[in-house]
Each structure stands twice: as C-alpha cells, then as structure tokens.
Amino acid sequence: MNIDIESDDITAVITVCQSRLDASVAVSFRSEISRLVGSGHREVILDLQQVRFIDSSILGAMVYGYKQLNANGGSFVFCGVNGAVLDLLKLTRLDSVFPCYASVEQARCSNRAA
C-alpha cells in the first residue's frame, strides 16, 4: 500500500498515494490503523484525494478504524473524497458516519473545535 503518514502525539494524517484501495491492501490498511491507535493517536485524518476506487473490503477496514478510534474517544475523518468514492459512501450511508472535509487543514480545524 502506498501511503504517507504525518503525525504528532495525537493526530495522524494518512495520505493515500494510489488511485485504488481494494482487497489486496485491506489487511495492511487495517493493520496501519491498529498501529496508529495502539501508539496513542486519537485523531486520524484519511486523505483520499488521489483515490478513485474503493471496494467493500476497504469499507470494512474503514468501519473497523472508526470503531477502534471511537472506543478510545477518538475521531476518524476523511478529506478529499470525490467521484466514485463519494458516491459509494453516500450509497452505503457511510457519509453520515465519517465526516468528510475538502482538505486536511479543514479536517484538522474541525478536530480542534470538537
């Protein structure tokens, strides 16, 4: 999986640097979220600006991440969601579970205000 992670003590920004997220990377995606939560991060921002396709295994990993963070008083938000990815989140109604922002900075500001 091709991702970049920027983090401080509390917040991690995962920038996905590939156009597809599917079953071939679902296990590593889920493991990375577990690692971040286990190391004390309570806010995870997932930047999906470059992503054009996700499948159900990735949706499952996203829900897993949400549950992990929520159980620890944290938040899991998305930014840069567009096209078919946004359509899928709306179709599955996960857009009501995961707050979506236009940019990483807007997501950071929303987490600070919460």
Does residue 72 have a pLDDT over 90? no
What is the value of pTM for the model shown?
0.91
Could you tell me the CA-to-CA distances from 63 to 31, 54, 70, 93 in Å, in that order? 13, 13, 10, 12
Q: Which residue has 């599917």 as its token pair?
A: 22
Q: What is the pLDDT of residue 113?
A: 47
Q: What is the pLDDT of residue 86?
A: 95
Domains in the chain (CATH in brackets) are: 3-113 (3.30.750.24)
Q: Report which of 55, 47, 49, 46 is spatially closest to residue 19, judged by C-alpha positions.
A: 49
pLDDT tens profile 1-29: 899 999 988 899 999 999 999 999 999 99
